[in-house]
Amino acid sequence: MEGLTINEAARTTGWSPRMLRYVEQTGLVSPARSPAGYRLYGPAQLQRLRTLKELLGRFELGLSDVAFAARMAVRPDLRDAVEGWLETEARRPEDVAPGDWLRFEQEKHEKLLAVA
Amino acid sequence: MEGLTINEAARTTGWSPRMLRYVEQTGLVSPARSPAGYRLYGPAQLQRLRTLKELLGRFELGLSDVAFAARMAVRPDLRDAVEGWLETEARRPEDVAPGDWLRFEQEKHEKLLAVA
DNA sequence: AGAACCTTGACAATGTCGTGGTAAGGTTGT
DNA sequence: ACAACCTTACCACGACATTGTCAAGGTTCT
């Protein structure tokens, strides 16, 4: 029995057993399994669970937010598309010649979405 | 009346008027206003609305996902904390000496969360 | 002035998220 | 064998996300 079982892990991380299963379901922290199927949390998982809790509390995030970030981290096409869309938001008309900036935006969006 | 009113914008973008108000509420696309308070969508907003629709459909995203990405784009502390947490996920024990890697993770998380 | 817009606000239906339970059944340590 | 675990699979509830629709009232165009 290499590692803590779910109730032990719950006690040392502050999550409930129920939530540990839910966190696993989101794909954010997945423990190993014993031959009989018991969840076995190692030091790495325990640490990740604690810091995850910190992260969520500090910024008022939901698990789904972090799960979405994870999805972006693993899929460059997603990330590029989202960040590309967001980049145009900050851009101001003053940055570009009066007649050009709209066409610029348009082509940029088209390119980004076409590639993705 | 510089720009399209909400129903006109709805027709050319594929969003419903109701959803255009909702999108505005999420902060993702905010039209200008006429002196009387009418929403006026310019070419830039229309383009952003169309590409936003594309983006959501192509990757099965919700507005809240993109809103969260926008929040990260605007707050480096949030972004760094989330990405820092995620980075450890990909890392394998083999990358580091057997006794060191856990301490390494631990310190990394502590630093990241302390700074944020 | 009257039709055809626009505004905000509210109520409603459906769906997902975050959590907690509970039940039926397998595993483990003494 | 028996207590104390564990597993999966459900039901449930409140909060939020996504849409629609309707009402009361202001604006615009002809």
For residue B38, what is the domain's CATH number? 1.10.1660.10
Question: Where is the domain boundary, A17, A35, A59?
Answer: A59
Contacts of A65 (CB under 8 A, 6+ apart): B68, B82
Q: Residue-wise pLDDT tens for chain A (116 aa)?
A: 789 999 999 999 999 999 999 999 999 999 999 999 999 999 999 999 999 999 999 999 999 999 999 999 999 999 999 999 999 865 544 444 444 444 444 444 444 444 44
pLDDT for B35-77, tens place per residue?
999 999 999 999 999 999 999 999 999 999 999 999 999 999 9
Nearest 5°: the CA angle B73, B63, A15 is 75
Contact yes or no for B93 and A44 at CB 8 A: yes
Whether B70 is covered by a domain: the verdict is: no
- The answer to whether B68 contacts A68, with C-beta atoms less than 8 Å apart, is yes
How many domains is chain B built from? 2
Let me know if residue A66 belongs to a domain.
Answer: no
Domain presence at residue A26:
yes
Burial A11-38 (b: 16+ CB within 10 A, else e): eebebeeeebeebeeeebbebeeeeeee
pTM over 0.75: yes
Is there a domain that residue B104 lies in? yes
Would you call B72 helix, strand, or coil by DSSP?
Answer: helix
Protein-proximal positions, strand D, CB < 7 A: 5-8, 16-21, 26-29
- Secondary structure of residue A30 in the 3-state scheme: coil
Q: Are A55 and B81 in contact (CB under 8 A)?
A: yes
Q: With 0-12 CB in 10 A as exposed, 13-18 as middle and 19+ as buried, what is B76?
A: exposed
Does A32 fall in a domain?
Answer: yes
pLDDT score at A99: 40
Contact B49/B12 with Cβ under 8 angstroms?
no
- Are the Cβ atoms of B86 and A73 closer than 8 angstroms? yes
Indicate yes or no: strand C within 7 A of the C-beta of A57.
Answer: no
Domain, as residue range, for A100 = 75-115
Q: Based on the domain organization, do A55 and A98 belong to the same domain?
A: no
Percent of chain B with pLDDT over 90: 73
